Structure formats: structure tokens, C-alpha cells
Amino acid sequence: MTERRIEPVEMTLVPFDEVVERFDPALGLEVHVELNTASKMFCGCPTEFGAEPNTQVCPTCLGLPGAMPVVNRKAVESAIRIGLALNCDIAEWCRFARKNYFYPDMPKNFQTSQYDEPIAFEGYMDVTVPNEEGDGETFRVEIERAHMEEDTGKSLHVGGATGRIHGADHSLVDYNRAGIPLIEIVTKPIVGAGAKAPEVARAYVAQLRDLIVALGVSDARMEQGSMRADVNLSLSPKGSGVLGTRTETKNVNSLRSVERAVRFEMSRHAAVLESGQKILQETRHWHEDTGVTTSGREKSDAEDYRYFPEPDLVPVAPSREWVEELRGTLPENPTARRARLQGEWGFSDLEMRDAVGAGALDVIEQTIAAGTAPQAARKWWLGELARRANEQGVDVPALSVTPADVARVQALVDEGTLNDKLARQVFDGLFAGEGTPDEIVAARGLAIVSDEGALSAAVDNAIAANPDVADKIRDGKVAAAGALIGAVMKEMRGQADAGRVRELILEKLS
Ligand SMILES: [Zn+2]
């Protein structure tokens, strides 16, 4: 029972390159997703994030004697859609099960979950990881199951330095989260990834998150805990084909941490194995700040949760008609959609990554649909508008400017009414709520002056005010024209076509 635990502080990690020379890693990922249903899994309590502690509770989710649960139909629907999007089979008949264990933030002392009858099973997801050439390489991750369960409450440990229970004065429990619907998605062992294992783990969680968001079933925010990943890892001697003893690193809360946690555990496992010790099957805690895992609790495969079918709930038996109807609601796979859009728009990999990173794919797509050239749509949304979003502390899609506005502003640029500088003033007007782009151009008097007489007079004024510059240009130093163009643009309050101004200057001084 009590094997000596070797911790990284007293052990030299094996460098990653050496790990993959001598061992084959096997990954397993368990991802919990909190569904965005309006009410909880088995009662009508609201599910809003951030409410005052213990204000969203009732006898059912507090586990009071005699309270009876009822299954949330919307949660079952979301579970089926997730299963279908992961290419799973959907159970014709399945039950909930009680998973019995004691934990202070779980008021019933059992978690209503699914055991040997998950709602969805036997699926897969193709994930893309970059290879040495920078191209995408596809890696198939097999899905063992996706099952429904309920979340626990939250313990808050007060008085300790780190918010952990050790060293705390006392603990408080908030049951608002108890009973919120969860889907747990479990992969089969992922073997054959070798040195790419950390990236495959990250890419899988990233693509799963995108898929969940595209399905609209959760906001899947890892930093808020509405999506949480547990990372299982084991090593086996290279080529042996035998799975080693695994560890399970809990609640890894960012994509970057998923990759780092796998990398760290691979180096730690190798160090333990090469020192002649055994890997202890246990859960481990990930420490974001130091980038290491530390020992949690020992965990055997045969842990006896005394699962039994939940007697208070009827079985879930989704009709095939309903399943097919839900299949019809699936969005285009986000990875396939990205590849399609990138091809249609002619964006480089970097441009596409920036657009995805800014969450701007939808607004760019809508702007292009409204008639704007792809590069112009990209320029506004990822340049000027991304900068303003950043200033306002919001995401790009949350800006008050719409794709239709951006398309109209660019159309005015294309037809020569605005230049980019004037267009930015139109955006000022849009953010100030001054009306449509056309109304703002009219009200602020922003249109480019195309009156040749007025332009010519401004050019004459600039030449007269800058005789030395004019002489240089007469001597053939055409580069000096910039100073005169600047003077004309200033006099015209920016409302001139700089190209036409340059032509006029050169005509007059040649
Ligand atoms: Zn409740």
C-alpha cells in the first residue's frame, strides 16, 4: 500500500528528446463540459454563473430526503448532439447510475452519472497537428464514450495561503453548481503519437472546445471551469506494445497547460521508471505557476464506487427519429469549415490563425458576404476594429459595429468617396452612435473632395508656402513630393485622394 513516492523535487527529470527515444507514450483524455441549459440536470434551479452562493438550490439538488429528480430534456438533446458530432453511436436505451462516494460538496453522497450504459459511445475525432514542414497532419483520436452526469458543488477553503485545504482555517460550501449538467467525454488510449503526444493532447482539447462552441451547447471556457480536462498518461518501453501504469492529472485548465502537463508527466514517468521504481497509479495535481504535477491520491482501477442503476429516474430511450432530427441540426465541423473558408478567402496560415484567434471568422464571413473583398474585410476586423475591441476590453464580435457597416465603409473607400483615414473617422461616428456610414459621411462632411479646382488651389498654396521643397522637385528629387502632399492633405483636412494630389504636384513642377 505505502510505496515510497518519488517526487520531482528529489528527482532529475529525463529530457523530453530522450523520453521519446526510449519510451512510447499512451494518452487518455477525459473532458468534462458544463452544458449551458437554463436549468440543472435533475431540477428546475437556474444555472447562471457567478450568483451569490447557495441561492440557486432546491431540495433535489441539495439531496434532501424525499426529493425526486427529473431528467432535463435539453441536456439529453445536447448530449446526443455532442455524441453525433463525435461520430458516436447513440444508445437506444440507457440508464443513469449512482456513483457512491463521500465528498462535502456533493450533498447526496452519490453522484448521478452513467456507468456501463453511456448515452454515446464508439466515436472518433480527427485532430490536426502541425508537422515539421508546417503543414497539418491528421491524427485520429478514438472516443470511448460520452456520458451524462451532474456537477458537484464547490468548496472554498478560507485562511490558507493557496486556497487549498491544507493550512485553511475553515471551509465553506457553495451548492449553486451542484446538479449542473455535465457531459464527460472519454477517449480510448491514444497510442502512436510519440514525440507529438503533447501537441496531440492540446489539439484534441482545442478542437473539442471549438466543436462544443459550434454546437452551441456550452461556452466551454476552460478558465471559468465550464470545460475541464483530466490528462491520463503512461509510458511503455519503446516497441513493447504493453500499456504502462498511468497517472491522471486533474483539472488542467488551459490548452497550454494540457500540452505542458503531458510533457512534464512524460519526463517524470521516464525518470521514475529509469530509476527502477514503479509508477504509482494515482491522481496528480497540476501547478500552473511552476509547471509541475504533484501527487494527489492513490487510485486503483477497481475503485469500488458501488455503482447501481438510479432507481428514481426512468431510462433514457431516444427514438431513432429524434436522433436523426438532431443529426440534421449539426453545424459544419469547425475544422472543415476553417479549411473551406481559408481556401475561399485565400488567407495565409498566419492570417487564418489570427482570424480564428480573434474569434472573428463569423464577422469576416458576413462582411465578405455583404460584398467586401476578403483582404479588406480582414484588414478592418483584425486591424482597426481589433484595436478598438482591445481598448474596450471586449471580443471583436461584441463590438457595436456590424459586418454590414464595415462592408458599407469599404464600399465607400472602393468608390473613392473615402480614404482609409476618413474611413477611420466614420468608425468613430459609428461607435458614437451617429447613424449609418452614409449619414456619418454627410453629417461630418467626410467625403473626399473631388473638385479639381479646389485641389489645384490647395496644391498651388502648398507650392507657394514651401519654395525650397518645390525647387528640389523641379531638380528631379521626386521623393520630396511627400512634404507637399502632406501640406495639401492638411489643408484639405484629409479629404483628398493622395494619389491625385501627387499627380497634380508633379504636373505643376515638371
Ligand atoms: Zn435544484
pLDDT at 317: 97
Cα 156 to ligand 1 centroid, rounded to whole Å: 20
d(CA 180, ligand 1 centre) in Å: 9
- What's the CA-to-centroid distance between 42 and ligand 1, angstroms? 7
Sign of the CA dihedral running 40, 217, 260, 232: positive
Q: Considering the entire predicted model, what is its pTM?
A: 0.78
Q: How far is the CA of 107 from the centre of ligand 1 (A)?
A: 11
Residue 274 has what pLDDT? Answer: 93
For residue 48, report the distance from its CA to the centre of ligand 1, in Å. 13
pLDDT (tens digit per residue) in 255-267: 999 999 999 999 9
Residue 401 CA to ligand 1 centre (angstroms): 40
Q: What was the pLDDT predicted at 133?
A: 65
Q: Which of 29-43, 110-124, 214-228 has the weakest average pLDDT?
A: 214-228
* Contact of 141 with 124, CB cutoff 8 Å: yes
Ligand 1 midpoint to CA 443 (Å): 55
pLDDT band with cut points at 50, 70 and 90 for residue 301:
low
More confident residue, 2 or 435: 435
483-496 in b/e form (b: 16+ CB < 10 A) is ebbebbbebbebbb
pLDDT-based confidence at residue 3 (cuts at 50, 70, 90): very low
Q: What is the mean pLDDT of the chain?
A: 91
pLDDT band at 1 (very low <50, low <70, confident <90, very high): very low
The predicted structure's pLDDT at residue 491: 86
In whole angstroms, give the CA distance from residue 501 to residue 455.
7
pLDDT of res. 379: 96
Distance 169 CA to ligand 1 centre (A): 29
Average pLDDT over residues 67-95: 97
139 pLDDT above the threshold of 80? yes
For the segment 296-302, the average pLDDT, to the nearest whole number, is 72
pLDDT at 381: 96
Tell me which residue of 359, 327, 318 sits closest to 215, measured CA to CA.
Answer: 327
Distance of CA 92 to the CA centre of its chain: 32
Q: Mean of the pLDDT values across residues 188-208?
A: 95
Residue 282 backbone phi and psi in degrees, to 5? -155, 165
Cα-to-centroid distance, 38 and ligand 1 (Å): 12
Per-residue confidence band for 5, with pLDDT thresholds at 50, 70 and 90: low
Task: Report CA-CA distances (Å) from 168 to 107, 161, 165, 182, 287.
Answer: 21, 8, 5, 29, 19
Ion ligand 1 residues within 5 Å by Cβ: 43, 45, 58, 60-61
Q: Which residue has the higher pLDDT, 367 or 156?
A: 367
CA of 103 to the centre of ligand 1 (A): 18
Give the pLDDT confidence score for residue 496 in this predicted structure: 84
DSSP per position, 48-92 = -TTPPTTSS--TTTTT-TT------HHHHHHHHHHHHHTT-EE-S
CA of 283 to the centre of ligand 1 (A): 30
For residue 11, pLDDT over 70 is answered with yes
Residue 451: predicted pLDDT: 80
**pLDDT digit string, tens, across residues 435-492:** 999 999 999 988 887 788 888 888 999 999 999 998 998 888 888 888 899 988 888 8
